[in-house]
Chain A
Amino acid sequence: MNRKMDLMVLPVIIGVFMILMFSIGAPKRQSDLENMPSLPRPIAKETILITSAGQSTDTYIVKDIANKLMIHNYFMPQATTFDLDEINTIVFVIGYSRMSEKLYALDYDAELERLENLLEKGLQQKMSLITVYIGGDYRYDEDSYALLELIGSKSDYIIATADESSNQALHIISKAHSIPLTIVQRLTDITEPFASAFR
């Protein structure tokens, strides 16, 4: 009986630790895509509107960075075209969150429509559009990619954190639409390129 127990416990321990080992895996691969560390000159003006594209909590991080940089901003994750008065730049923080869809009773199509309207009005009013994507491969799914393509392709500047799959897509978008792209290795490094867009 004891021997049976030993035989059973051992595979459990080995199995669990093998899973953990595979999960730890290799460190993140550094992107080999060309990217600029920051913009050589500002492309956008304050006041900025920080809004979410996908309603992830990543938007709060960008708002916090903007506040620390003392950039005059309005933080409206669900901003509509009516919120664009006095706004010179729209910062879209991309990252689709299913949980937010549930919590705020939102619909993906409605979110797309809201963003399209914002883009349209922003372009009409010649506002600067900045795309920030800090979700990396974590948030890189079909829905987030669609948002990246929609907004990124019409942006003036894209800032993202380094990650394999999402960076490839960003590079394609950047190249196809000649949009400056900055990819940072660590999330905390985003401050510099973000500031360079304004100062």
Chain B
Amino acid sequence: MTLRYQEIKYVVWAIGLLILTYLIPVTTDFVWIEIVAKIREAINSGDSGPLIMSSAIYSIVYTVQNVVTFLAVFCLTLSFNRYKKISFLINSGVTLISFALINHTINTWQLIPWESFSSIVSAITVLLLIKNSFHLNNNFYRTVVIATMVFFAFQWLNMMPLFSNGQFGITDIPVSIKITSQYLQSDAVLNFVGLAFFIPLFLSALITSTLFVSFDKNIAIAHENHAKEIALETIRATALEQRVYLEINSIAHDLKTPLVTIRGLNSLLMLSPDQEKTMVYSEKIDSAVEKMSDMISAFLYETSKQRMSVSDLVDYMRAQIPIDDDYLRVTTEIETDLPEIYINKIRVSRAMINIVENAIRVPSLYPIKEVDINAKRETGYVCIEIIDNGTGISSEKLKEIWNMGYSDYNSTGLGLFFVKKIIEENGGTVTIQSVVGTGTTVQMRFPTFER
């Protein structure tokens, strides 16, 4: 549908421009009279100024006429090209032949002299300069810019007595201008003015076309990068979804512990005739239910925080990690009299579990895998360290580990992105240092409750 719209658009443009092509000679008689008047003024006054003015006026009219004709033909070939892809060479050939034919008919019909050589050379130059963007959708406006510069540049060569022996400037007006310039001994002035226009305009056209090509290249790269970014985001989102799902499974598993307690005690209740014991069991059931309720609240509400000791946190966290490997040694060292911290127990413990699980999972160069969990006091903070003797993380990977979706060793945890997020939500910070072949140290710092 879009393709059809483009075709129609270019055909409409082509028809409009063709009408304009034939209208320009009909409506510009006053310009030619003005040019002749300027030439006469130059002869009468002996001043080359009016001669340069007449050259400029002629150049503008010539440029407008040729650019409009060229674009009319170009639009037709563009629309055809969109209908059926054809090679640039054939397109160019058709464009040049049509351009020459239209100019010839205008020349015959309206007696407007046509500088065939400079026009054809200009048209070929324009086609070469737009070659790389020929099949792009937005090349029409680029062609307008380049064609205007090129046709205007080459037109000035028609005015230069320097090129009198060639095919430039062989029609009536340029010839009159050059003969007058010879009479006024202004050949050097006209040559200079011609070059002063030609060189910068021609170079501008070259540079502009180069910039257009570079721009296309950059846009293509940007689109490619954008597509890659979207693909990467999709992969990350999928991975994240999977991790969240696994984490929920893990939490649900944690919730089963107090449920088992409730079920066990309840069965005892059913067997016990002793009222006193029944009361004790009931209180324990109540405690377990409350515990479960706290866990669910902590899981559901990020702001649900509580004051607790570091040793309780570490014990709670350790209770969630199954350690039944002969080649794994997990040690805990907690300084005595550590101040309390104020955190969301469930979420922070999940974050710590994630780090410990990573430490356990990572391969080690040593026969026994050691994971040390240390807690120590720092000014205003409590620092919890998890140190492993694994293979370590390279400095390149260290830059990426905090990114969302980053994963290594097929980890199923929430990832360090969420670890960091949870710790920061609880007022803490997390850093990681690693030496390849030696091990990794993760440090989490939480402000003390007093702070």
List residues of A whose CB falls within 8 A of some B CB: 1-2, 4-5, 8-9, 11-13, 15-16, 19-20, 22-28, 56-58, 60-61, 63-64, 97-103, 134-136, 138-139, 186-188
Contacts and interface: CB of A to CB of B under 8 A. Distances in A.
15 contacts: A1-B132, A8-B132, A12-B125, A23-B163, A60-B40, A61-B43, A64-B43, A64-B44, A97-B172, A99-B173, A102-B29, A102-B32, A103-B33, A103-B36, A138-B164
Given A102-B110, A187-B179, A60 B44 contact: yes
A5 B210 contact: yes
A2 B215 CA distance: 12
B183 A188 contact: yes
Q: What DSSP secondary structure best describes chain A's contact surface?
A: helix
B157 A98 contact: no
Given A57-B36, A102-B29, A102-B111, A24 B165 contact: yes
Contacts of A100: 36, 172
Contact of A60 (B33, B39, B162, B178): B39
A103 B125 contact: no
A9 B176 CA distance: 35
A25 B128 contact: no
B165 A135 contact: no
Contact of B165 (A9, A19, A23, A103): A23
B175 interface: yes
Interface in B205-249: 206, 209-210, 213, 217
A112 to B, nearest CB: 17
Contacts of B8: none
A57 B111 CA distance: 17
Nearest to B25: A102
Given A8-B131, A60-B43, A61-B179, A22 B172 contact: no
Interface string B16-48: 000000000000010011001001100110100
Given A20-B163, A98-B111, A138-B175, 15 more contacts: A15-B125, A23-B157, A24-B163, A56-B172, A57-B43, A97-B172, A98-B113, A99-B113, A100-B36, A103-B32, A135-B175, A136-B179, A186-B182, A188-B182, A188-B185
A191 B395 CA distance: 91
A24 to B, nearest CB: 6
B166 A25 contact: yes
Nearest to B165: A25
B112 interface: yes
Contact of A99 (B36, B43, B180, B209): B36
A12 B209 CA distance: 12
Contacts of A99: 32, 36, 111-113, 172-173
Contact of A1 (B121, B129, B178, B213): B213
Nearest to A99: B172
Nearest to A22: B166
B202 interface: yes
Contacts of A28: 165
Contact of B168 (A23, A186, A187): A23
A60 B179 CA distance: 11
Contacts of B172: 56, 97-100
Contacts of B39: 57, 60
A138 B163 contact: no
B176 A58 contact: yes
Name which of B112, B157, B172, B206 has the most chain A CB atoms within 10 A of its CB.
Answer: B172
B348 interface: no
B180 A57 contact: yes
Nearest to A4: B132
A9 B182 contact: no
A5 B216 CA distance: 12
Contacts of A9: 206, 209-210
Contact of B128 (A11, A58, A98): A11
A146 to B, nearest CB: 17
B167 interface: yes
Contacts of B29: 102-103
A16 B202 contact: yes
Listed from nearest, the 6 A-B pairs whose CB atoms lie closest are A23-B166, A25-B165, A102-B111, A23-B163, A138-B175, A57-B176
B123 to A, nearest CB: 13
B220 to A, nearest CB: 9
Contacts of A4: 132
Contacts of A25: 165-166
B170 interface: yes
B75 to A, nearest CB: 23
A187 B182 contact: yes
Interface in B140-172: 157, 162-168, 170, 172
A23 to B, nearest CB: 3
Nearest to A26: B165
B117 to A, nearest CB: 8
Nearest to B216: A1
A15 B128 CA distance: 11
Name which of A56, A57, A97, A139 has the most chain B CB atoms within 10 A of its CB.
Answer: A57
A13 B175 contact: no
